[in-house]
Structure 1
Amino acid sequence: MSKQRQYALASLVLLVILGLGGYFWRDDSPAPAPTLKHSYTKALAMAHNGQPGAARVLYQQLGRSDLSAIRRASLYAELPNYPSPLALKLASRDVQHDDPLVRRAAIASIQAMLPGAQRSLVLGPMLDDEDQSVRFAVVDALLGLGPDEIGLYFGPLQHALVRYQQALAQKADDTAAQLHLARLYLHDNSYQEAAGALDRALQLDPENLQALATQVELLERQGQTDASRQVLAKALQQRPDSAFLQHELGRWLLRHGQDEYALLAFARALELEPDNNDYRYTLATSLHQLEQVDAAQKQLETILVHDPANRKARVLLIEYWKETGQLQNVQILLAQLEQLNPDDPLVQQGL
């Protein structure tokens, strides 16, 4: 056999060996199906945008076991707009998830979906979670409930609250931590401690509007109405085009029985920040309180045009239309809600 033929035969044998090796060593695990890859993104977009069938695909994604923690947490941010027994079941299961990020997201979702006493029953056991951030998330979720609503978890909640305050107090150079600490003390009626935490927050960030608003509330709670008004007036004088401060002015005026002036402040806040649905919702409730029902309904309709997933606005608009006997409009809204989430308690309840 000539050398040329020997080289050709050797090359052929080598190719066969490499081919067999590639066959036996290849990864036979199936690649993720493209539809699954895209279904998470699609479900998140459908839920966020309030598209028909949103609840179904959202529940399907939360039923998966292969999602990353950050993706799972992102889905829970949308879940409160799609309440149902299944939604609660999914969230209640994930308060036991391995990742604290998912547990905190599930806790926040349950907080938004359940009223006080029921929330306490579901979240109370999490006050002894191994992760400190999860325990503190439960405190935030249960804060503001009365002793009767908290029930057997009142003692554990107080214990966790003290630990929470201690942890935040150690972050003396963190504006957000000091501001949150002030809020916790304010809830506890510990005014002197709240003032100390608030002073530290304002020293770190004198322009922090949330801190200024908390300072106004603290002064009010201590009976210093004139001082609270002066703090707010000074802040508004320096920042007359702040939508946040205009909204806070409206809230202050409401607390002091000046509803008509509050309405002007809320309208100004929305004028400065027209895409803020929270401000528009507040304006709607203020209009309704002053018996300007048509105007209130129009504000809520505007919210739903731009944010169809906003269940809070939809539910309130249904209530307002029921009050005025516009049952045909109620039926339209319920039909839209059924398209989003046929298991919504409001759909099940009907007219």
Structure 2
Amino acid sequence: MTKPHRYLLISLLLLLALGLVWHWMPGKLASPQAPHINYGQALKQAHNGLPGAARVLYQQLARTDLSDVRRAALHAELPNYPSPQALKLADADLQNPAPMVREAAIQSIVGLVPGAQRSLLLGPVLEDHEQSVRFAAANAMLGLSPDDQGLYYGPLQQVVDEYERALAAQPESAEAQFQLARLYLHEGLLDKAQAALEHVSRLEPDNLKALVAQVELLDKRGQPDQARQLLAKQLQVQPQSAYLQHALGVWLAHHGQTEYALLGLAKAVELEPDNADYRYKLATTLHDLQQVEAAQRQLEEIVQRQPSNRKARVLLISYWKETGQLQNVQILLAQLEQQNPDDPALQQGL
């Protein structure tokens, strides 16, 4: 073998040896790769309010290969991570081929968007070819004022009429009759609402939602004493019902009896400590009574139990600013920025 050939062979063997050493080195240098976040990890990250939650949630919703069920589950988390991108993703899914996903996107928009803008986004969905999607859009727009409904006031009434006919055709369904009563209450058709609620009670005598709706009906008839008596009577039967305790607290607060309302609201939280809605209402009621520190503690508890709960976090920031606890404000803002750097609260300098 000539010298040049020998040198070439030795060089090749050295390169091969170096390659093997490099491959097996435990600490070899390599360009850092972004960790691959799968659907399950992303959903968990969003649900638990972990850093980067908004980014991975948006990434998953941008995929085109997710099942309908998985896509709908992502939409359930989206309202906690508002941004122009979140709204764009929700709006895009109003055109998704699957009715389940379109309905989930409607709920996302309810959580992301205030009244007037919501009407502009959901109004066109009142003409969806799928009846259940039209009804979901109508439900989402029911609470809007006629001014906020704007150009869609007429189409909304048409869908509501269609919804009422569909519900009335299900006389043996307690849930359908309850929804029918709810629509009648919204429209001020009190006698029809009464009949539907009585129907629910015949089908399901222990239906507490129907009982609370009956309280609302009595209020609308100008019979607050009877409404309170109805709640009190049922509470004697079921004193450990968090739902009824909360309903009593809300009713008392609505009727200007805020101090008494605290008893029911606090009892509801005691009975269901993980219910963030109950605890949030207790916090705002405490704040109304100038018990700001107690209100802060309730909101802190929500954020500790549910770090992704943006509504409670933003209100707690506001309450802490109110009492000059700026260090706590900065901590919560930093956590919010880690979750979602495009959150409007950050952009507005909350």
Query: TM-score over 0.5 for the alignment?
Result: yes
Q: State how far apart, in whole Å, the 2-side matches of 1:228 and 1:48 are.
A: 38
What per-residue deviation string (whole Å, max 9, x for no partner) do you get for residues 132-169 of structure 1? Answer: 00000000111111111111000000100110111111
Contact 1:244-1:269 within 8 A present in 2 as well:
yes
Contact 1:277-1:303 within 8 A present in 2 as well:
yes
What amino acid is aligned across from residue 154 of structure 2 in structure 1? Answer: G
User: How is 1:55-204 mapped onto 2 (pairs within 5 angstroms)?
Assistant: 55-204=54-203
What per-residue deviation string (whole Å, max 9, x for no partner) do you get for residues 60-93 of structure 1? Answer: 0000000010100000000000000000000000
Q: State how far apart, in whole Å, the 2-side matches of 1:255 and 1:59 are.
A: 39
Q: State how far apart, in whole Å, the 2-side matches of 1:105 and 1:144 are.
A: 18
Q: State how far apart, in whole Å, the 2-side matches of 1:159 and 1:239 are.
A: 40
Q: State how far apart, in whole Å, the 2-side matches of 1:255 and 1:91 are.
A: 34
Structure 1 position 318 matched with structure 2 position 317? yes
Contact 1:219-1:227 within 8 A present in 2 as well:
yes
Q: How far did 1:218 drift?
A: 0.6
Q: State how far apart, in whole Å, the 2-side matches of 1:155 and 1:276 are.
A: 37
Q: State how far apart, in whole Å, the 2-side matches of 1:295 and 1:191 are.
A: 39
What amino acid is aligned across from residue 74 of structure 2 in structure 1? Answer: L
Normalising by the residue count of structure 1, what TM-score does the alignment of the two structures yield? 0.88
Structure 1 position 252 matched with structure 2 position 251? yes
Give the length in aligned residue pairs: 317
What amino acid is aligned across from residue 59 of structure 1 in structure 2? Answer: Y
Unaligned runs of 5+ in 1: 1-34
Q: State how far apart, in whole Å, the 2-side matches of 1:120 and 1:243 are.
A: 34
**Secondary structure of the structure 1 residue equivalent to 2:274:** coil
What per-residue deviation string (whole Å, max 9, x for no partner) do you get for residues 284-310 of structure 1? Answer: 011101000001001100111110000
What amino acid is aligned across from residue 91 of structure 1 in structure 2? Answer: A
Q: How far did 1:332 drift?
A: 1.3
Question: What is aligned with 1:271?
Answer: 270
Q: State how far apart, in whole Å, the 1-side matches of 2:126 and 2:184 are.
A: 19
Q: How far did 1:37 drift?
A: 9.7
Contact 1:293-1:320 within 8 A present in 2 as well:
yes
Question: What is aligned with 2:286?
Answer: 287
Q: State how far apart, in whole Å, the 2-side matches of 1:190 and 1:139 are.
A: 18
> 4+ residue runs of structure 1 moved beyond 4 angstroms?
35-38
Q: How far did 1:278 drift?
A: 1.1
Contact 2:280-2:298 within 8 A present in 1 as well:
yes
Question: What is aligned with 1:227?
Answer: 226
Percent identical across equivalent pairs?
64
Contact 2:37-2:56 within 8 A present in 1 as well:
no
Q: State how far apart, in whole Å, the 1-side matches of 2:102 and 2:271 are.
A: 37
Contact 2:245-2:268 within 8 A present in 1 as well:
yes
